[in-house]
Chain A
Amino acid sequence: MEEYRRAHFRISGDHSVKLFILDLSKFETATGSSSARQHMDSQSDSGKNVITYRAYTGEDDLPHVMALVQSELSEPYVIYTFRYFLCQWPHLAFLAYSPQSSSPVGVIVCKQSTHRNSYNRGYIAMLSVDKAFRKRGIASALVRSSIEAMKEDGVEEIVLETEYDNDAALSLYESLGFIREKRLYRFYLNGKDAFRLVLSVPPPSSPSPSGSDVDDSGTSFTATGRFIGERTHFRRTGGLGTQSGR
């Protein structure tokens, strides 16, 4: 969890230069441009194994979300933490259902906001899949759903933290194009280090049909609502940075 894993809840303000950014084209999500808020079915050869996904709808889902997260993750979260995310960004939370279970078998909880007044950053706060339903691509589908939902709101990068030795999570996210931005020393309460993973989301390649929309102040916007202009965040000119061409 970002900004928490210190016992005194100190906000980390460190920056880093990403020296290498992989060409993400081969990691482009396969869900297409359809709204991630719609139902999606996993491909399956049997109706029994069809996993369905839907967005978080409200308070009725909250107990299931909490149960899934608290049973699978070691870090304790109070209900206010769940409400913080789910009340403000319900459209970024998704649940996975299986015909074999009356309760959700997977959940993802995210947020999206302007980071340091500069750019649109998404954050994956919690991802949990029932042990009995792992290795079925549910986690991957949930992450893709949330990425697509964030893209609809103009996300520029998505970050998360995970334990440095959580190989399953690292494999999952790296297969989706996330790279390790930084290592966080003794990030968790149990003293373990964490990796902060980041996925840089390129802007849409094609401009909107009507060109830039200009508001009354003269500021121009892209179709996704971002300001056009030079980004002023942490990429410093002093490092040997490279940008992937797209």
Chain B
Amino acid sequence: MDMDADYTAPGGSSFRDVTSVFALASQEMDPGSIVAIDAFSLSDAMTATEIGEPRLDTGIQLENTERPQFDPLTPLLPEEICWIIDRSMAYETEWHASNPLAHTVFTLLYVHCLNDVDPDVLPFLPMIDLDSSRPLELITVILRAYTSGLLKSCSLAWNELSKGSLLDTEDWQSDKSDVSLLEGWPVRAAIARLDTALAWLSTTTKVPPSWQEALKIRVQFRRTILLLLNSTESLPRGPEDFNELLQSARHSLSVIRAHPCESISSSSPAHAAFDPYIARQLNTFLPVRVIDVPSLEQTCDAYERLLNGWEDLAKLSNTYQLSTWNQVGFHQSWFGAPAAQPAYIRSCAQTLFYDGIQIIHNQPQSWLVDRLFEETIGVSYHVFAQHWGGQGSASLLDLERKIIHTIIPHVRGLWNNPARRRRFLVKSIYDWHIIYDTLCVLIEGLDVSDDIDPVTFRTLNQFSQAVVPWRLASITEVILSGFQLELYHPLERPFAYWFAAQVTDVHLNYLDVLLKGMAGVVPQGESIVRLLLIWVVSTYTYSIESPSRKEMQFQQHFLVALQAMSMAMFVV
């Protein structure tokens, strides 16, 4: 290989030409033959990178990507700082929309040179700060604080997303490209730096008042977002403070939306602050893709979705009804589908419901078993379990484990993206049936000598029937989500509606049975006392609207309407 004497290849001059080695080794191969490792897979093939292919070689320097040199200490106007902040906000929302950091947040070049704008290491700063309209504090104080807050915000979100509730490379992109997100830096330090920036803006005379306010609201918004991200995990302990932060964030966002910054001139040096091709200089194998920067309006909408998600989380953190979680899960997945809520919110919801140890931050997993029956048929699981030695007994261990291992992924799965959620629901249909079958086997196995009265038997049977509506609701959801995801051929659609109507009909039948059969079970005792108690409990069940009864009645009305609409769509 001929090389100019003065040419210095990247990596130094220690490369050796080994073309002849490969040529010699391949002499015995026939044209078109291939030598591959054992079990050479498609993944192995596609992992290769073609040097010089612009779409694959992230390090290639193309002629048309020459950019002006970026100097982080280039003085900027306040409106240019505003523009940079707005653009970085837009990129942050794009990262939350499952684009890589290297194509979004990291395109802000200040991310990579925060130390270069640290005023503590720039003793010569006063000597170069000569333009009164472009005070360097805008960079060393304001932009530095904002960028630090931005990175710390991404770090907190990254920590939540990396818990594994959602899928990397599908719902979000975890690749950091070896760029620091200030992971080891305390949140308090970031807040302090933002507070310093706010204090400077409040007291400075170097910035026109209108731009002071514009910058203050943006720094304030960043501060609030950072606090919200930091507070999400401790949400159950301080919902009031969290709601105050939400209100503050909404206010800031509304001001930003109402007073957008003017666009800057094309010759402005602020444009150099962003490099969409920065990925070529970073440690990443993802092909470079230039993301279209959303408008301020779109960016505000994206942040609003985040804030709405946080608001839902705040409410859910104090919601101890399984059916409410179920309904909210279904609702949020339909709202805005086939797109999904921000991945961060969906991950938080899953973590909030079950963090690997407890349910809704302080309930044991066994709590789910009782809630399932209490909310569906209005009877405590204890009434069922007492015939087998009580909750947690050896006879019921298998059943309770199955219920827990079905409900937890069922509820968490509602916060998957719509496509994956549908596939998960399909699998859960089988799991619900297994629970139903286990309950039936247990009831059938009751010893006839146990002297169980018919009322008790009817109540015990209701426990097995209580599981069926959950399964049927999942089936209906699978059918209807097929429309949402555009999965059906036009010829299939009428039959999908017909199936939905059939399933709804079965569901309604089960609700009828459950509503008619809601009677109490009395503990063992004197026969007269038992009869009295039966009368009291039955009176309570049929005359006073228990929450589970009200819910079932609502479900009836809803399903009747759904069935009618489905049949109409089938006929049409």
Chain A contacts to B: CB under 8 angstroms: 1-4, 6-11, 14-17, 19-20, 22, 58-59, 62, 76-81, 83-84, 87, 164, 174, 179-186, 189-191, 193, 195, 236-240
Neighbouring A residues of B272 by C-beta, 8 Å: none
Closest to A14 in B: B423
Known: A11-B43, A20-B495, A84-B42. A183 touches B486 (CB 8 A): yes
When the two chains form the complex, which single residue of B43, B46, B173 contacts A78, counting CB atoms closer than 8 Å? B46
Contact assessment for A3 and B42 in the assembled complex, using a CB-CB cutoff below 8 Å: yes
Q: Is B427 an interface residue (CB 8 A)?
A: yes
Q: How far is the CB of B142 from chain A (nearest CB, A)?
A: 32
The distance in angstroms between the C-alpha atoms of A6 and B170, with both chains bound, is 7
Known: A15-B423, A17-B426, A20-B495. A7 touches B173 (CB 8 A): yes
Contact assessment for A238 and B430 in the assembled complex, using a CB-CB cutoff below 8 Å: yes
Contact assessment for A14 and B32 in the assembled complex, using a CB-CB cutoff below 8 Å: no
Q: Is B311 an interface residue (CB 8 A)?
A: no
* Number of residue pairs A-B, CB distance < 8 angstroms: 146
Neighbouring A residues of B478 by C-beta, 8 Å: 17, 19, 239
Q: How far is the CB of A145 from chain B (nearest CB, A)?
A: 21
- The DSSP consensus for interface residues of chain B is loop
When the two chains form the complex, which single residue of B46, B338, B491, B495 contacts A81, counting CB atoms closer than 8 Å? B46
Closest to B416 in A: A185
Q: How far is the CB of B287 from chain A (nearest CB, A)?
A: 6
Which residues of B464-512 have CB atoms within 8 Å of chain A's CB atoms?
Answer: 471, 475, 478-479, 482, 485-489, 491-492, 495-496, 499, 502-503
Neighbouring B residues of A84 by C-beta, 8 Å: 40, 42, 44-45
Known: A7-B173, A174-B489, A189-B287. A236 touches B419 (CB 8 A): no
The distance in angstroms between the C-alpha atoms of A17 and B426, with both chains bound, is 7
When the two chains form the complex, which single residue of A4, A19, A58, A164 contacts B499, counting CB atoms closer than 8 Å? A19
Which residues of B37-79 have CB atoms within 8 Å of chain A's CB atoms?
Answer: 40, 42-50, 53, 55-56
The distance in angstroms between the C-alpha atoms of A164 and B90, with both chains bound, is 26
Which residues of B266-314 have CB atoms within 8 Å of chain A's CB atoms?
Answer: 285-287, 289
When the two chains form the complex, which single residue of A1, A9, A78, A180 contacts B56, counting CB atoms closer than 8 Å? A78
When the two chains form the complex, which single residue of A3, A78, A185, A190 contacts B170, counting CB atoms closer than 8 Å? A185
Known: A236-B427, A239-B478. 16 other contacts (CB 8 A): A4-B43, A7-B169, A7-B173, A10-B168, A10-B169, A17-B426, A19-B499, A59-B32, A78-B56, A81-B48, A83-B45, A182-B419, A184-B419, A185-B420, A186-B170, A240-B502
Contact assessment for B426 and A16 in the assembled complex, using a CB-CB cutoff below 8 Å: yes
Neighbouring B residues of A80 by C-beta, 8 Å: 44-46, 48
The distance in angstroms between the C-alpha atoms of A237 and B436, with both chains bound, is 14
Instruction: Offer 10 A-B interface pairs, CB within 8 angstroms, sorted by A.
Output: A1-B46, A7-B286, A15-B427, A17-B478, A59-B31, A87-B32, A87-B34, A179-B489, A180-B486, A240-B499
Chain B contacts to A: CB under 8 angstroms: 31-34, 40, 42-50, 53, 55-56, 97-100, 167-171, 173, 175, 285-287, 289, 338, 340, 417-420, 422-423, 426-427, 429-430, 432-433, 471, 475, 478-479, 482, 485-489, 491-492, 495-496, 499, 502-503
